[in-house]
Amino acid sequence: MLRYTLLRILGAIPTLLLVIALAFLMVHAAPGGPFSNERVLPEHVEEKIEKKYRLDEPLPKQFIRYVSGLVQGDLGPSYGYRDYDVDELIAETFPRSLRIGALAITLALLLGMAAGTVAALRQGSWLDKFVMGFSMTGLSIPVFVVAPVLVLLFAVKLHWLPAGWTSQTGISRYVLPVITLALPQIAYIARLTRASMIDVLGRDFVRTARAQGLGTATVVRVHALRPAMLPVLSYLGPAVAAVLTGSVVVEEIFGISGMGQLFVRGASNRDYTLVLGIVITYATLIIALNLIVDILYGIIDPRVRYR
């Protein structure tokens, strides 16, 4: 197990480096400097600015400086927000995004797996059809459509829930953003669980368990749930990626000053260091999560370790 874990960790490092290099190159290959947005500067001023941000150095040197800063948690100064470092901005906004994202994923796992299991147990019933229909609908409606429609319905028309974030305190302001982010994930996890549960319920060991006289609830809980969970587990990485993507929209619509909103603002201000820093943070998060899933896989299903 230790060997397996170490191998996985070693395998993640080149991926991370690749991501950093790719993002860095993309930003630096961009035509026009980060300050070309502003009014035209006299040449000697521009030179001074470039010198200040060390943009006059050759690219490999800049890259090495960037990576060595990165290792120490330094993402450089923001071009857009004067007097702020990118890491300060991320540290300020990340916890808020994390809380909402984690709530959404938890909700999606609970509801999605429950709905998928029920649908698998009652395969072909109206309940199954309802779950599958809901799932297909949830998968097809983009987050940026769900969010405004929910706001229109529950905040603007019915006044049940707040539309904004900053004017509110307490739990009610979490409801709409979390549901919006969770909805497509509930839909997908329900499908995944249903398919793998149907598969597992048809296996011999489940038949044996039934033959021993165990009730459906016990069979599912003790025997079927663990193997049926594996596909859901490996979906966690993509799920987090999807929630991060969704958070870009959700934070903008609900006015939550999280990392997603920071990303959009940075992108429209051409704040290259900020955008680069956030992309790297996202990628690190997703790679780390995939790593954890891989290791968990090795624990839950020992066969994986020897492949």
From 68-76, 137-145, 169-177, 204-212, give the range in contact with another protein by CB under 8 A: 137-145
From candidates 9, 136, 300, 304, binder to another protein by CB under 8 A = 136
| Per-residue tokens: 57 | 């150095």
State which residue, 117 or 281, has the beta carbon closest to another protein: 281
Q: Draw the binding track, 29-58, toward another protein (x: CB under 8 A; -: no contact).
A: xxx---------------------------
C-alpha–C-alpha distance, residues 25 and 216, integer Å: 56
Residue type, 210: R
- Minimum gap (Å) between residue 152 Cβ and another protein: 5
- Minimum gap (Å) between residue 282 Cβ and another protein: 5
Q: Does 188 bind another protein (CB under 8 A)?
A: no
C-alpha–C-alpha distance, residues 118 and 156, integer Å: 35
From candidates 100, 113, 118, 151, binder to another protein by CB under 8 A = 151
- Minimum gap (Å) between residue 149 Cβ and another protein: 6
Cβ neighbours of residue 252 under 8 Å, at least 6 residues apart? Answer: 260, 261, 264
- Minimum gap (Å) between residue 63 Cβ and another protein: 16
- Minimum gap (Å) between residue 249 Cβ and another protein: 7
Cα 235 to chain center, whole Å?
A: 11
Residues 253-292 that bind another protein (CB under 8 A): 253, 263-264, 267-268, 270, 272, 275-276, 278-279, 282-283, 286-287, 290
Q: Does 124 bind another protein (CB under 8 A)?
A: no
From candidates 161, 195, 214, 241, binder to another protein by CB under 8 A = 241
From candidates 149, 222, 300, 304, binder to another protein by CB under 8 A = 149
State which residue, 26 or 299, has the beta carbon closest to another protein: 26
Q: Which of 185, 192, 222 is nearest to 206 (CA)?
A: 222
Residues that bind another protein (CB under 8 A): 14-15, 18-19, 22-23, 26-27, 29-31, 136-137, 139-142, 144-145, 148-149, 151-152, 156, 237-238, 241, 244-245, 248-249, 253, 263-264, 267-268, 270, 272, 275-276, 278-279, 282-283, 286-287, 290
